[in-house]
C-alpha cells in the first residue's frame, strides 16, 4: 500500500514478518571514540543510573560518550585524556588517527562472522552524538572541516551485509549532535538543554536521513533520543515505507517543544527499544532490547572478559527475550582498525554454536500462551511456537533421567524430540505436568530444546 503523512495512514503499517522472524541483530558502535577507547568500568547503565544522574554522566560507562564526558571538569575521562594525550590534544585530533586505522578494515569479515552466528540484520551507527559521519554525505558538517570517515563505511558494510543475506539498518543520533551543541550533559537540566539546537540542525538531519534512505536503501531506521523540532516525522515514515515496504522504525523519534521543554507523544513506531533491560512478561507490541556484550557500546579497551557476558549468560538472555516477543540487538564495539576484540568474538561464537543446534526453537517462532514455567527439578523453562510445534527450552542441563515440566496442560501430543538428537522420546502427562524421559546422553549445553509436535486438531 501507499502511505501518506498522517497518523491514520501510517498506523496501518504492520511490523513485517521478517522482523518477527529475525530475533537476532548486530549493533555496531564504531567511530572516533574507538581510538581513545576509554570509559569507567565495573557497572552497566542501570547500575550507573542508580548512583544519581550527575554521578552517572561524570562516570559514564559508555565509551562512545567520550566527547561529552571529556567536557565534564575532573571526570575520569578528562583526567585520562590529559594524561594520555596532553593538554592541547583535542577530540578532533582523533580524526586522522581513525582514518589511518580504518585502512585495515575488511567489511566482509564482519558480515561473514555475523552471518555465521545466525544474525539476520545489522544496525550501524552512521553518526553518533559526536557528529562524526561514516559516509561521504553531500551535506558535510558545517561546523567542522573534514569531519568524516575517509572510507564509505556505510556503503561498504551495507554491500557486505546484503551480500550475505542479512538486512541492513542505520542508527543515526537524531536529537543530539555535540558538534552543534557544545554544552556538556552533566545533570537533568543540561540533558534537556542538549535537545535545543539551532534551526539549521533540523534541516541538516533531514538531508542526512533522506540521503541514507535514497543512497543505501536500509530496512531499519534507528533514531536515538528523539528528532529535532520543525519536521513532521510522519513524512519521513511515509517516504521510507513507500520506498522500503518492509522497513521498520524504532520508538526514539519523539520531539521536544523548545519553549515548554516538553515532549510530544510519538504518533507511530514499529517496536520498543529497552536498553540493557528486558521485559518480565510477553508484550503484545514488538520490542527489541539493545545492549553491549560488555557495559559499553563503543570499544572500551579497559574492559576485560569479566566485564563481558559469558556465552552462557548471552544464550539464556536471548532465549528469555525471544520467549516474550522480543528481538536482541547485540552490540559489538570494534577497535579503531575494525578488529572485533577476542572476548566479544568468543561470546558471539558461543551463541552461534548453540544456535547451530537450537536455532529451530528461536528463528521464525512466536510466543506461546505464556513465556515461562519451571520444572519440578528447579530448572527454569521458556516456550516458543511455530507451525503446530511447541518448543520447550530448559535454561540448564538436567541431571535426572526424567524431567517434569509444571502446569503445561498439553493435549494431543504426537511426538517429542530433543533438538540435536534424532531419538523420539517417551513422555506422559500427570495431571497438568508433562514428564519427559531424557536420552541417555545429552551434550553439555547452556540450554536444551524439546520439540513437541502437536496434532492438527490440538487447541493448545
What pLDDT score was predicted for residue 457?
64
| Matching fold, domains 7-361 and 366-454 | no
With the C-alpha atoms ordered 219, 107, 117, 127, is the resulting torsion angle positive or negative?
Answer: negative
Using CA atoms, how far apart are residues 373 and 140, in angstroms rounded to an integer? 54
- Please state, in angstroms and rounded to a whole number, the distance separating the CA atoms of residues 70 and 87: 12
pLDDT value for 443: 81
Q: What is the pLDDT of residues 333-380, one digit of tens each?
A: 999 999 999 999 999 999 999 999 999 999 999 999 999 999 999 999
At the top level of CATH, which class does the domain 366-454 belong to? mainly beta
| Alpha-carbon distances, residue 16 vs 67, 166, 249, 363 (angstroms) | 37, 15, 11, 14
Using CA atoms, how far apart are residues 335 and 300, in angstroms rounded to an integer?
A: 8
Q: What's the CATH fold of domain 7-361?
A: TIM Barrel (3.20.20)
Q: How many CB atoms neighbour CB 30 within 10 A?
A: 27
Output the pLDDT for position 458. Answer: 47
Task: Give CA 347 to chain center in angstroms.
Answer: 15
In a structure prediction context, what are the per-residue pLDDT tens digits for the chain, which is 460 residues long?
Answer: 899 999 999 999 999 999 999 999 999 999 999 999 999 999 889 899 999 999 999 999 999 999 999 999 999 999 999 999 999 999 999 999 999 999 999 999 999 999 999 999 999 999 999 999 999 999 999 999 999 999 999 999 999 999 999 999 999 999 999 999 999 999 999 999 999 899 999 999 999 999 999 999 999 999 999 999 999 999 999 999 999 999 999 999 999 998 888 999 899 999 999 999 999 999 999 999 999 999 999 999 999 989 999 999 999 999 999 999 999 999 999 999 999 999 999 999 999 999 999 999 999 999 999 999 999 999 999 999 999 999 999 999 898 999 999 999 888 899 999 999 989 999 999 989 999 999 988 887 899 999 999 987 645 5
- Residue 53, class by beta-carbon neighbours within 10 Å (0-12 exposed, 13-18 middle, 19+ buried)? middle
Across 238-268, b (16+ Cβ under 10 Å) vs e yields bbbbeeeeebbbbbbbbbbeeeeeeeeeebb
Residue owning grid cell 495431571: 431
Q: Pairing relation of β-strands 220-223 and 287-292? A: unpaired
Written as nine digits, the cell of 25 is: 541483530
All three cell numbers of 143, joined, read: 561546523
Residue 260: predicted pLDDT? 84
Give the residue extent of every domain in the chain: 7-361, 366-454
* Short-list 382, 385, 451, CA closest to 419: 451
pLDDT (tens digit per residue) in 219-250: 999 999 999 999 999 999 999 999 999 999 99
CA atoms within 13 A on the CB side of 260: 6
C-beta atoms surrounding 2 within 10 Å? 8
Nearest to 222 by CA among 68, 352, 327, 92: 327
Q: What share of the chain is helix, strand, coil (3-state, %, to 5)?
A: 30, 20, 45
Helices 199-216, 153-163: crossing angle, 10 deg rounding: 40
Give one DSSP letter per residue of 324-383, joined into a string: TTEEEEEEE---TTSPPPHHHHHHHHHHHHHHHHHGGGTTT-EEEEEEEEEBTTS-EEEE
Distance CA 232, CA 225 (A): 16
Amino acid at each position: 500500500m501507499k502511505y501518506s503523512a498522517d497518523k491514520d495512514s501510517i498506523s496501518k503499517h504492520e511490523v513485517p514478518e521478517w522482523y518477527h522472524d529475525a530475533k537476532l541483530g548486530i549493533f555496531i558502535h564504531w567511530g572516533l571514540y574507538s581510538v581513545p577507547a576509554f570509559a569507567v568500568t565495573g557497572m552497566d547503565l542501570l547500575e550507573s543510573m542508580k548512583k544519581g544522574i550527575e554521578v552517572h554522566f561524570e562516570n559514564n560507562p559508555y565509551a562512545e560518550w567520550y566527547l561529552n564526558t571529556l567536557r565534564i571538569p575532573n571526570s575520569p575521562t578528562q583526567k585520562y585524556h590529559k594524561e594520555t594525550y596532553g593538554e592541547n590534544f583535542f577530540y578532533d585530533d582523533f580524526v586522522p588517527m581513525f582514518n589511518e586505522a580504518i585502512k585495515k578494515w575488511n567489511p566482509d569479515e564482519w558480515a561473514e562472522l555475523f552471518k555465521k552466528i545466525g544474525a539476520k540484520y545489522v544496525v550501524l551507527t552512521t553518526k553518533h552524538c559526536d557528529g562524526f559521519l561514516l559516509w561521504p554525505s553531500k551535506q558535510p558538517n558545517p561546523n567542522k572541516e573534514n569531519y568524516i570517515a575517509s572510507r564509505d563505511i556505510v556503503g561498504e558494510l551495507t554491500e557486505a551485509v546484503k551480500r550475505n543475506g542479512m538486512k541492513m539498518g542505520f542508527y543515526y543520533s537524531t536529537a543530539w549532535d555535540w558538534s552543534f551543541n557544545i554544552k556538556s550533559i552533566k545533570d537533568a537540566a543540561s540533558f534537556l538543554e542538549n535537545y535545543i539546537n539551532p534551526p539549521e540542525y533540523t534541516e541538516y538531519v533531514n538531508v542526512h536521513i533522506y540521503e541514507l534512505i535514497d543512497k543505501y536503501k536500509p530496512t531499519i531506521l534507528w533514531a536515538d533520543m528523539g528528532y529535532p523540532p520543525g519536521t513532521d516525522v510522519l513524512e519521513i515514515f511515509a517516504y521510507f515505507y513507500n520506498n522500503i515496504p518492509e522497513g521498520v522504525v524504532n520508538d526514539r523519534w519523539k520531539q521536544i517543544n523548545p519553549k515548554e521543554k516538553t515532549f510530544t507523544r510519538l504518533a507511530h513506531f514499529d517496536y520498543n527499544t529497552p536498553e540493557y533491560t528486558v521485559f518480565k512478561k510477553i508484550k503484545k507490541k514488538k520490542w527489541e532490547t539493545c545492549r553491549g556484550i560488555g557495559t559499553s557500546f563503543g570499544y572500551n579497551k579497559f574492559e576485560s572478559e569479566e566485564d563481558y557476558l559469558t556465552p552462557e549468560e548471552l544464550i539464556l538472555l536471548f532465549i528469555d527475550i525471544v520467549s516474550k516477543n522480543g528481538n536482541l540487538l547485540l552490540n559489538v564495539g570494534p577497535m579503531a582498525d575494525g578488529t572485533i576484540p577476542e572476548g566479544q568474538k568468543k561470546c558471539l561464537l558461543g551463541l552461534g554454536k548453540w544456535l547451530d543446534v537450537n536455532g529451530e526453537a528461536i528463528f521464525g517462532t512466536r510466543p506461546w500462551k505464556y513465556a515461562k514455567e519451571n520444572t519440578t527439578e528447579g530448572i527454569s523453562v521458556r516456550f516458543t511456537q511455530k507451525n503446530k510445534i511447541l518448543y520447550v527450552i530448559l535454561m540448564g542441563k538436567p541431571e535426572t533421567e526424567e524431567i517434569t515440566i509444571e502446569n503445561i496442560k498439553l493435549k494431543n501430543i504426537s511426538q517429542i524430540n530433543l533438538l540435536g538428537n534424532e531419538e523420539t522420546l517417551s513422555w506422559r502427562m500427570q495431571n497438568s505436568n508433562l514428564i519427559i524421559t531424557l536420552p541417555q546422553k545429552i551434550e553439555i549445553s547452556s540450554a536444551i530444546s524439546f520439540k513437541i509436535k502437536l496434532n492438527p486438531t490440538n487447541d493448545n
